[in-house]
Each structure stands twice: as structure tokens, then as C-alpha cells.
Structure 1
Amino acid sequence: MKIGPAATSSNTRRARRLSGVLAIVLSLASIVGVSPAGAATYHASLANVSATLTYQGTYPTPRHTMLTISLAGHVAYRETVSASLCGQLCWPTSAFGVENSSPLRVVSLRAGSPEVLLGLYSGGAHCCYIVQVFSLSPAKKYVKTEITLGDPIAGLQTLPGSPYAALVTEDDSFAYQFTDYAASGLPLKILRFSGHGFTDVTRQYPALLRPDAAGLLAAFYAQKSSHYSDSVGLIAAWAADEYLLGRVSAAKQFLNQQAHAGHLRGLLYPAVKGATFVAQLETFLTHQGY
């Protein structure tokens, strides 16, 4: 996952971040059709689980969005699609990093019956992608779990140590934290599904963290041509990766060196620079669990 210089557009930055991690574990998923009236139908299936998504209307206003899940040929779930962030007005979209693909997936996130995943978008300049997971309970009822990704999309990837897919995304809490969105770096975030919720397991994958940190550091050094006028967003994300890699002391030493050299500055919050930025970053990283 590589992040280019802050001047790069957000869409290009997102594509670069997620390139190389989109070895997606997908079900058979296809768009059945879009009628002249704007009605769409999507199907996805894996093993004995099949799902159908239907809606009417055109972007950004869907109508009558309905999800149906069948288990072994029998309807086990049929409900109007709704999310906490946007109610019934969320637009069905692929939140999984594949352009022009279905918002609907059936994948194995854990042992047992495969899960149904639905991607939604709330609308707005930078927000928000939403993933809903429908998992089978011991009572053979489908339980909905919802996670808001923010601006980043996600990849579904099998990683070492497990045959099941994990959600590979970025930590959106760094957006706007120290500078504007375009100049913000977002560190790697890996989530595994267990029970009926997600667990952050990013620390378990140093082989993915190391190249992510290297890309962020390269983007920071690319700020030299602009005299590091807006560098704090990138180095904040780099520090997060380094903390997860266990290289806390070395990261702090580097940050202090860069602060002394006058390389830690931001355009959105000009007063948050140098040692002041380093102190605020350390507080933020601790608060976020890094």
C-alpha cells in the first residue's frame, strides 16, 4: 500500500493505497441488469448462501432498497436496507476497492456459514463508505453488523495464518486531524470478523505495515521540494505504522529530529508545528490505541 505526495488527488491516493492488497476473496457476484426506470438487481452466492439486492432510483437517491438472503434455498432474511448514518438513503456501492463491481458479496470471514457483505455510500465530499455484514447466528437468524469506514474503501484479502478473508482498509481518524484531507496520510488498518463484530488485528501483520510505513515516509521526504510546508499529515500516519511495528523509540527520535530541523508543519493548523505537533501526535496515538 503506497501513498503518493499530498498534492495527488484523493481518488488517485486511494487507488494507490489499495493497489496490491485487492486480492479479493469474492463470491460469484454479477449485475443482473439496470432498467430504463433505474431499477437494479444484484446477485451473489457462495456455498448454500445466496443474496439478492434490489433498488430503484438513480444516484444519489435510491428507493425501495431491499436485501434478501436465502440459506439452502429458503429465504432466511428479507429487509429494507438501512444504515445508522444515512437511514434508507444510502447508495448501494462497492466499498471493496473494485471499480464498476457489485456492492454485494458473499464471503467467508470466519468458520461456518459464509457472510453476506453489503457496501453503501452515505454521500458527501469525503464520507462515508459503510460495510454491513450479515452473519448467521446459532438460531439460524441473520444478524447485521455495521462498520463505517469513512472515506477509505477496503479490500477483502486472505492473509497468512487464516483461510478467511480480512478487511484491509485505512484508519480514517487521521483525516483532518492535523491538516486538510488532501494532505492527510491514513495508516493501514486490518480488521477481522469474529462473533458478530470486527477486531483490529493490524499489529499481527508487520509484512504489510512495513511497506505502508515506507511509502508514507517517502511521501514525507517528497515534501522537501515545498520546504515541508504541509508535512504533518503524512508523518503522523507513518508514526502510527511505526508504533504498531514496535519501533516507538526510533519513531519518537526521528520526529524530534524533524521538529528540530523545522520540517513538521501544516497549512490547516499553522500553530501545530514542531515540538507542539509531536506532543499532540503522541497524545492522539495513545488515545487511538497505538
Structure 2
Amino acid sequence: MKARSLLTTLGLSLAVLSSVALPAQAETKTLVNGPISAEVSYDPEPDSRFVNNVRIQISRQGQTLLDAAVPESNLVALAARGEVPVEIQDLDADGEPEVILDLYTGGAHCCTVSNIYRYLPDQNTYQASTKDWRDYSYRREFLNGDAVPEFVSADPRFAYQFTSFAGSGVPVQIWNYRAGRWTDVTRQYPARIYNDAFRWWQSFERVRRENPNHDALEVRGVLAAYMADKYLLGQEEDGWRRLRQVYRYSDREQYFSELRSFLRETGYAR
């Protein structure tokens, strides 16, 4: 009886153990570009595209120069552009490639974060900088024909500012990365700004055409983005003239005042 009881207890214990999900083993992805090797490791979240405990290791000619945890990298998705969720590219044409690791924090509409690692030859190590793109991520494009990519995104400060997130307009925003620093270079690309302004004005016209009984909340956001673009183009007087012609809602003066203040606070109105 004792032997049978012991076997029964052992069998139940094994059954309980077998029903408990064991933690997933850490995964590692490695990318090599010439003498530079970048290895990303992480713990997969069971039955999810999210991961935990992201670490990055960067080596040059076989010597490890950086081995560090990626900040705020629990329950994130690897915003991979391919099999390996890390890239090695010279972002500022100085002859020294940077290592780029993008993470996505999840949620209804948030957020892409770029972690960029730059080599410091005097210290023989890598220095990290972080850019939070918030809701709108980015595209890397070569806008002026040189070897330096621009980061094309949108200004997240406009989200929710004048209406709901879905109704918000967000003006184009273009960034350069140079020697570890980010610079807003949007004003250098007037053709892009013009196309963006045209897009927001067309959005306004579409609301008026498709819903004649719309209220102000349906157009406040897109018109704010339009006015931001007009300021970037140096055409703010024309923008205000057109806005006064079409914005006939009951909150007209309050909206104009709030919009002027916001454009000053965010640096569009100088």
C-alpha cells in the first residue's frame, strides 16, 4: 500500500510539473558587417510577439566593446526589418557605421524607440543614444542625394492637442543624426512640407464634402497640421487668410487663439 501510495503521489507530482509552462529559452540574433558584430539576445514571452530582457553586445575584430541591457526593454516587440532585429549602417557618412536597434513598446498606437550605438575611437567603446518616435515611427530616406539618410516621421506633439487621436493631423518632421545628436531639419525640405500641407488641406475638404453636417472637432486637428506646414514654408499669412475664410464654427476665436499659442510653444511660429 505504501509503495502504491508513493507511486500515485509521484505520478501526480509529475503530472503537475508537466502542466506548468517552462520559461522560454533566451534567443540570440547576430549580424556581422565587416569587423563589426552586433548580437541581440532576449527572452521570448510565451505565445506572444513580445520579448523581455533585451541585451546587446557589440564587438570589433572579435573584441567585445559593449555588453549591456537595453533600457526599458521588458514586454517590447523587436521592430525588425528582416530576420535579425538589428542593423549596421553609417548614418552620418563619417566612415564609421552605427548599430541600430528598434523596439516597439506596443499598445493601441504606440511607440517605436530607436537605440543607436556610436563608436567612440578615443575610448574604444560604443555610446548609446535613444530616439522615441512615439506614435508615428519613421522611414529612412536619402532626400538630398548624399550618403546620409534622413529620418522622416511626424510631429507627435499634435496628437490629441485639438481633437481625438484619430482626428489629429500631425505635420511632417524630418531628422538628421550626426555624431550622436539629433537635429530637426524639416525646413530644409520645402517640397515635402508643401506636399504635406496639401494633404492636410485635402483632408479638410474631404470632411466638408462627405459630411456637410460635421462639427469643428472633425477638422480642428487637420487644420492645425496644415497651419504648422504653412509656418514652415514661411506662408503663415496665406494660411491664416485661408483659415479665416473656411473656419466658421462657434469656437472660431478660441481655436485661433489656442492654435497661435501652440504653434509658438512648439517652435513653428518664430
TM range (shorter): 0.7 to 0.9
CA offsets 1:37-60 (integer angstroms, 9 cap, x no match)? 464433334443331212112246
Distance (Å, rounded) in 2 between the aligned partners of 1:90 and 1:162: 37
The percent of aligned pairs where both chains have the same amino acid is 31
Segment of structure 1 superposing worse, 57-66 or 198-207: 57-66
CA 1:191–1:125: 2 relative to 1, 3 Å: same
1:64 aligns with 2:53: yes
Amino acid of the structure 2 residue aligned with 1:112? G
Distance (Å, rounded) in 1 between the aligned partners of 2:260 and 2:84: 40
Query: What secondary structure is seen at the aligned counterpart in 2 of 1:183?
Result: coil
Q: Which residue of 1 aligns with 2:87?
A: 105
Matches within 5 A, 1:137-216: 137-139=120-122, 140-160=124-144, 162-216=146-200
Q: Which residue of 2 aligns with 1:278?
A: 256
Distance (Å, rounded) in 1 between the aligned partners of 2:75 and 2:181: 21
Structure with a larger share of its residues in helix:
2
1:217 aligns with 2:204: no
Aligned mate of 1:116, from 99, 123, 128: 99
1:94 aligns with 2:79: yes
Distance (Å, rounded) in 1 between the aligned partners of 2:159 and 2:85: 25
Cα root mean square deviation, aligned = 2.2
Equivalent residues of 2:52, 2:76 under 8 A apart: no
TM-score by length of 2: 0.80
CA 1:257–1:112: 2 relative to 1, 3 Å: same
Equivalent residues of 1:108, 1:115 under 8 A apart: yes
Q: Which residue of 2 aligns with 1:78?
A: 67
Distance (Å, rounded) in 2 between the aligned partners of 1:235 and 1:44: 44
Structure 2, unaligned stretches of length 5 or more? Answer: 1-22
Q: Which residue of 1 aligns with 2:235?
A: 247
Q: Which residue of 1 aligns with 2:28?
A: 41
TM-score by length of 1: 0.75
Higher-Rg member (1/2): 2
Q: Which residue of 1 aligns with 2:226?
A: 238
Distance (Å, rounded) in 1 between the aligned partners of 2:230 and 2:125: 41
Equivalent residues of 1:156, 1:166 under 8 A apart: yes
Query: What secondary structure is seen at the aligned counterpart in 1 of 2:101?
Result: strand
Q: Which residue of 1 aligns with 2:110?
A: 127
CA 1:176–1:203: 2 relative to 1, 3 Å: same
Indicate the structure whose relative CO is greater, using CA pairs within 8 Å and at least 6 residues apart: 1
CA offsets 1:196-219 (integer angstroms, 9 cap, x no match)? 220000000112112111111111
Deviation at 1:64, TM superposition (A): 3.2
Distance (Å, rounded) in 2 between the aligned partners of 1:101 and 1:183: 35
Aligned residues: 238
Query: What secondary structure is seen at the aligned counterpart in 1 of 2:166?
Result: helix
Structure 1, unaligned stretches of length 5 or more? Answer: 1-35, 263-270
Equivalent residues of 2:53, 2:74 under 8 A apart: no
